[in-house]
Amino acid sequence: NERDIICAGCGVKIQTESKEMLGYTPPSALKRDVIICQRCFRMQHYNEVQDVSLTDDDFLKILHTIGERKALIVKLVDIFDFNGSWLPGLHRFVGGNDVLLIGNKVDLLPKSVNRNRMINWMRKSAKDLGLKPIDVALISGEKGIGVKEVASLIDRLRKGKDVYVVGATNVGKSTFINKMIQIFGGDEEQMITTSHFPGTTLDMIDIPLDDGKTLYDTPGIINHHQMAHYVAKNELKLITPKKEIKPKVFQLNEEQTLFFGGLARFDFVKGERTSFVCYVSNDLFIHRTKLEKADELYEKRLGDVLTPPEDPQHLPSLVKHEFTIRVQKVDVVISGLGWVTVNGTNVKVCAYAPEGVGVSIRESLI
């Protein structure tokens, strides 16, 4: 009996007749365990960070569902957290489905960074991780850069099939979907409904496409290797770049060390005086010291001089990654933080990141 249903979010009476009126909810949403009005639903899903954590079980069910259906899979990654936002395992479940790989947050890249090189690096990294995307694109969901182009790319690549948008939490999936709705939506209230992911209690958002097919926005999946999970919410804001990154240049002699707060460490072990260009959040303090003092500094001052994290209790210990660089200009990438461009040949460096956080090396994007 519909008259008795109250929105679990704001308490208004739920109705399914008039979408301009308070309490409207699409009839399809009445089947859910917890019923909320469309307005609360939109606030929950699109204006706030979703705090739903998926169990591994739910995650597998989602992957199975996606693999069993004929669909185009659109996979979003954060270009500053490539490994952390990767969702390992997805490629084993995609079945015969095509995957379009989208790198989000391109607005943060300094102008000097070559977009095509970034795309090539994404393609190569994907391949190394076992996935061969049908295409790779760069966008900024927030600024709307490339979103229209990607929308038509999706429409072309899906060849009349459904679309599943997947991504780890924090890659900007909600922002991207919102932008698509803004660009194409018109009446967004009418466009969005929800349904359950088969076998789970997780909601997914369904956006009807014009040929009767559907674009499914899947729940954000938490990858426990994301740097994001090792810092407090306010610290995450600090390490996440918000504006175009201003590269910071350090001319270092061998046996000097840079600390990125207390979250990562970069040693220049051996080589001629070399320039190191850091592409990290403008707000993240980089502390420079002597290599011989670095261990002690970290041990004694983690949490005060070397911060974030302010509370290092949950930070896994740092793992060392050693690189000998022979070609000029490579980037040492620390997933979730950014990267350091090394401008020299015959240089030995060590990058340290919390256990589980990806560290890799690539040809420079400059």
- Give the number of residues in contact with ligand GDP, rule: CB under 6 A: 18
Best CA proximity match to 264, nearest among 361, 362, 335, 168? 335
- 335 interacts with ligand GDP by CB under 6 A: no
- Give the nearer residue to ligand GDP in terms of CB position, either 14 or 100: 100
- Give the nearer residue to ligand GDP in terms of CB position, either 227 or 351: 227
- Annotate each residue in 132-171 with x if it binds ligand GDP (CB under 6 A) or - if it does not, as one string: --------xxxx-----------------------x-xxx
- 84 interacts with ligand GDP by CB under 6 A: no
| Residue of 75, 91, 105, 225 that binds ligand GDP (CB under 6 A) | 105
- 173 interacts with ligand GDP by CB under 6 A: yes
Task: Tell me how far, at minimum, the Cβ of 200 lies from ligand GDP, in Å.
Answer: 18
Task: Tell me how far, at minimum, the Cβ of 102 lies from ligand GDP, in Å.
Answer: 11
Decide: 219 and 312 in contact? Cβ < 8 Å.
no
- 226 interacts with ligand GDP by CB under 6 A: no
Of residues 315-334, those binding ligand GDP (CB under 6 A): none
Give the separation between CA 260 and CA 282, rounded to whole angstroms. 11
Q: Which part of the chain contacts ligand GDP (CB under 6 A), choosing from 88-96, 101-109, 298-306, 342-350? A: 101-109
- Give the nearer residue to ligand GDP in terms of CB position, either 173 or 229: 173
Give the separation between CA 189 and CA 319, rounded to whole angstroms. 48
Best CA proximity match to 348, nearest among 280, 259, 252? 252
| Residue of 146, 172, 308, 336 that binds ligand GDP (CB under 6 A) | 172
- Give the nearer residue to ligand GDP in terms of CB position, either 72 or 109: 109
User: What number of other Cβ atoms are within 10 A of residue 132's Cβ?
Assistant: 11
Task: Tell me how far, at minimum, the Cβ of 215 lies from ligand GDP, in Å.
Answer: 15
- Give the nearer residue to ligand GDP in terms of CB position, either 141 or 271: 141
Task: Tell me how far, at minimum, the Cβ of 175 lies from ligand GDP, in Å.
Answer: 3
- Give the nearer residue to ligand GDP in terms of CB position, either 64 or 143: 143
- Give the nearer residue to ligand GDP in terms of CB position, either 68 or 283: 283
Determine the residue with CB nearest ligand GDP. 172
Give the separation between CA 338 and CA 247, rounded to whole angstroms. 10
C-alpha triplet 294, 300, 305: angle, nearest 5°:
80
| Residue of 49, 232, 319, 327 that binds ligand GDP (CB under 6 A) | 49
Task: Tell me how far, at minimum, the Cβ of 143 lies from ligand GDP, in Å.
Answer: 6
Binding site for ligand GDP (CB under 6 A): 49, 104-105, 107-108, 140-143, 167, 169-175, 220
